């Protein structure tokens, strides 16, 4: 943890110090005033919520099964702080997102449970600051959940519950306003700003929050989103989360019959096309920097709802961004073959909490089937997630199985590539990428260079991975080994043939042959955690080990579609 703090830029350390002092002040037994005039039994604006919940989780709650953060606790005791619950589990419980799940489950029983749980929480936590209930990210989630689900569970409740809820929400909103940015960065900060703006529009007396909320919103849109739509944390799932926040904010302004800030509209125009370009043929997302696959229907819904006024829903994110140099991603597509490539440095310090050491890794799909993948991440299993963040869990090259970026145990990265280059060329349907990174330069005096070539038609992928000694640096003969990995999706069947070739069979019958020169090839077990939760799936990986002798090591490889016999 100390190592993680030292890796943060000074501005982030000062921000965290300020929040730590604010937490101490909040713990003092001083009155925490709600917003001016934040009393009554009705909201100024009821924004509603059009996002689907998880009905199965709502039905589980009705049976006393609280399923959060990958763990189910039956009839938790005490309810809000059961023994053995993880921080993530408690954050989900106190964040109230389960209100949407109860709404999806339907029935009077679900509505009564929503009221009972809310009433109990207000009695125990509604007035005084406590952790984790009043931590800023949890606070923001709960404010947003209560406001967007108010019509469902509170609009017809008894006046005593309505007034207690509205007064507590005013107190919580004032606390959030005072704390922000509260040590939050990236999409987490944007989500908290969204909650603050919802409070400003919906709560009696909430207008006092609006200036602060909009000032932070515009600052973060400029800071976090590049001109080509990339988000500073470089994670496709978090890019999707950002787009959802922007959609919700635009809907809020529309419900209030006020124009949304122009910067908000422009941000959506940039983000949606990039998100679409990071999808595989089955509609799921690439696994870079802790991303999850996500459900294809969910990404479809995001793109549809991001469509601007005057544009058809089908045109949202209409064109796939083939190259997003600022975002650092490349899309190579020909025929039914698709490559998604991470061709940039990891996120900068302070925005790299979940970042992976997967520089120059790629994924490949054929039609709707995944062929080569990265291993993913697992937010609910710390030790496994630490393993999945390493270079060896990505389809790229490492040296001596050392990570190309130092993966810190407390989150974030230490030393990382500082110079990452990527040059793209296209001609007559053929696509080339020439890339390099210096993640091993300081420690080993080595440079990783990768070339990818996808031929027109998509049936022929060729690659070259080269490790070379930097000029002026003395190499260490026979001391280093280049380890090149290609992780295969669990649905791919791999058979190693004589001569070192590997035959790959897709589930729907398509065949591909992998060949290589320059190293020793083996098939080894691997793990796949595309969903980001639950037990990972077993799969295989192609591993090539090549000694770095003299000043370089070169591995050439190819992946070609097997032609059906005529």
318 pLDDT higher than 50:
no
**pLDDT at res. 130:** 85
More confident residue, 175 or 320: 175
Alpha carbons 162 and 148: distance in angstroms, whole number: 14
- Within a domain: 404: yes
Question: Does residue 539 lie within any of the structural domains?
Answer: yes
313: confidence class by pLDDT, cuts 50, 70, 90: very low
In a domain, 246, yes or no: no
Percent of the chain residues topping a pLDDT of 70 = 89
Structure token pair of residue 274: 């990039």
How do residues 507-565 score in pLDDT, each as one tens digit? 987 899 999 999 999 999 999 999 998 899 999 999 999 999 877 899 999 999 997 65
User: Pick from 184, 199, 220: which residue ends a domain?
Assistant: 184
Domain containing 415: what range? 329-561
Whether residue 488 contacts residue 526, with contact meaning beta carbons closer than 8 Å, is answered with: yes
Spatial CB neighbours of 26, under 8 Å, sequence gap ≥ 6: 32, 129, 134, 175, 179
- Angle formed at CA 345 by CA 344 and CA 347, multiple of 5 degrees: 115
Classify residue 259: in a domain, yes or no.
no
Neighbours of 108 (CB within 10 A): 7
Residue 356 covered by a domain: yes
Q: What angle do CA 336, 341, 345 make, to 5 degrees?
A: 170
Q: Which two tokens stand for residue 52?
A: 């689907």
The per-residue pLDDT for range 80-91, each reduced to its tens digit, is 999 999 999 999
- Nearest in space to 259 (alpha carbons), one of 250, 270, 269: 250
Helix or strand or coil: residue 329? strand
Please report, for residues 47, 49, 164, 168, 194, the alpha-carbon distance to residue 147 in angstroms, rounded to integers and kept in the order given: 7, 9, 14, 12, 12
Q: What is the 3-state secondary structure (H, E, C) of 154-165?
A: CCCCCHHHHHHH
The closest of 456, 378, 379, 447 to 417, measured between CA atoms, is: 447
How many angstroms from the chain centroid is the CA of residue 231? 10
Residue 444 has pLDDT above 50, yes or no: yes
Please report whether residue 4 resides in a domain.
Answer: yes
Last residue in a domain, options 184, 219, 238: 184
* 373: in domain: yes
138: which residues sit within 8 A by CB, 6+ positions away?
A: 91, 94, 95, 132
Block residue for tokens 């974030």: 412
Residue burial 429-441, b: 16+ Cβ < 10 Å; e: rest: eebebbbbbbbbb
Q: Which of 158, 184, 210 is the last residue of a domain?
A: 184
pLDDT band at 28 (very low <50, low <70, confident <90, very high): low
CA distance 67 to 495: 40
How confident is residue 417, by pLDDT bands cut at 50, 70 and 90?
very high
Specify the DSSP element, H or E, that contains 240: helix 236-255
Give the list of residues 6+ apart from residue 256 with CB closer than 8 angstroms, or none.
45, 201
Lowest mean pLDDT among 7-16, 343-352, 487-496: 7-16
Distance from C-alpha of 335 to C-alpha of 220, rounded to nearest angstrom? 39
- Whether 31 maps to a domain, the answer reads yes
Which position has the higher pLDDT, 207 or 89? 89
Domain of 543, CATH number, reads 2.70.98.70
Q: Are 164 and 122 in contact (CB under 8 A)?
A: yes
500 vs 462: which has the higher pLDDT = 462
Supply the pLDDT for residue 314.
Answer: 36
Residue 316 pLDDT: 41
User: What is the CB-side half-sphere exposure of residue 304 using CA atoms within 13 A?
Assistant: 7
Residue 432, strand partner residues: 425, 453
* Residue 204 near residue 167, CB atoms below 8 Å: no
Measure the CA–CA gap between 229 and 296, rounded to whole angstroms. Answer: 20
Count how many domains the chain has: 2
**Residues linked to residue 71 through DSSP beta bridges, in sequence order:** 68
């Amino acid at each position: 943890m100390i190592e993680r703090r030292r890796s943060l830029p000074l501005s982030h350390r000062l921000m965290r110090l300020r929040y730590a002092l604010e937490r101490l002040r909040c713990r003092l037994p001083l009155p925490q005033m709600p917003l001016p005039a934040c009393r009554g039994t009705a909201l100024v604006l009821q924004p509603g919520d059009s996002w689907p919940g998880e009905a199965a989780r709502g039905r589980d709650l009705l049976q006393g099964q609280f399923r959060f953060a990958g763990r189910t606790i039956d009839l938790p005791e005490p309810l809000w702080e059961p023994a053995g619950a993880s921080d993530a589990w408690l954050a989900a419980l106190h964040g109230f997102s389960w209100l949407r799940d109860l709404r999806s489950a339907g029935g009077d029983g679900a509505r009564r449970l929503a009221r009972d749980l809310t009433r109990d929480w207000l009695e125990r936590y509604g007035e005084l600051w406590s952790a984790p209930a009043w931590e800023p990210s949890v606070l923001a989630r709960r404010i947003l959940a209560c406001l967007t689900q108010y019509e469902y569970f509170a609009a017809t409740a008894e006046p005593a519950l309505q007034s207690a809820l509205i007064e507590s929400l005013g107190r919580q909103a004032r606390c959030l306003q005072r704390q922000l940015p509260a040590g939050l960065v990236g999409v987490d900060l944007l989500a908290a700003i969204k909650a603050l703006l919802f409070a400003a529009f919906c709560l009696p007396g909430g207008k006092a929050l609006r200036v602060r909320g909009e000032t932070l919103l515009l600052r973060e849109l400029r800071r976090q989103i590049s001109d080509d739509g990339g988000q500073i944390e470089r994670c496709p799932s978090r890019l999707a989360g950002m787009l959802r926040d922007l959609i919700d904010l635009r809907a809020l302004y529309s419900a209030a019959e006020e124009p949304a800030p122009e910067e908000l509209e422009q941000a959506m125009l940039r983000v949606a096309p990039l998100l679409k370009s990071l999808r595989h043929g089955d509609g799921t997302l690439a696994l870079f920097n802790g991303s999850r696959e996500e459900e294809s229907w969910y990404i479809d819904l995001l793109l549809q709802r991001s469509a601007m006024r005057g544009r058809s829903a089908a045109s949202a994110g209409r064109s796939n961004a083939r190259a997003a140099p600022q975002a650092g991603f490349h899309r190579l597509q020909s025929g039914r073959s698709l490559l998604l490539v991470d061709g940039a440095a990891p996120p900068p310090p302070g925005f790299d909490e979940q970042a992976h050491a997967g520089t120059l890794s790629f994924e490949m799909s054929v039609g709707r089937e995944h062929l080569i993948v990265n291993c993913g991440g697992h937010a609910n299993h710390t030790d496994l997630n630490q393993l999945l963040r390493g270079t060896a869990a990505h389809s790229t090259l490492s040296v001596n199985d050392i990570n190309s970026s130092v993966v810190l145990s407390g989150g974030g990265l230490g030393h990382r590539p500082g110079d990452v280059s990527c040059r793209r060329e296209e001609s007559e349907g053929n696509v080339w990428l020439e890339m390099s990174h210096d993640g091993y330069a300081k420690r080993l005096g080595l440079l990783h260079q990768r070339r990818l070539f996808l031929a027109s038609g998509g049936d022929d992928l060729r690659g070259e991975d080269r490790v070379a000694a930097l000029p002026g640096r003395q190499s260490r003969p026979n001391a280093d080994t280049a380890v090149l990995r290609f992780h295969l999706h669990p649905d791919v069947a791999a058979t190693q043939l004589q001569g070192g070739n590997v035959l790959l069979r897709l589930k729907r019958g398509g065949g591909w042959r992998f060949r290589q020169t320059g190293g020793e090839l083996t098939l080894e077990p691997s793990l796949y955690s595309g969903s980001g939760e639950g037990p990972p799936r077993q799969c295989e990986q192609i591993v090539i080990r090549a000694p770095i002798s003299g000043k370089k090591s070169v591995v050439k490889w190819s992946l070609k579609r097997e032609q059906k016999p005529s």
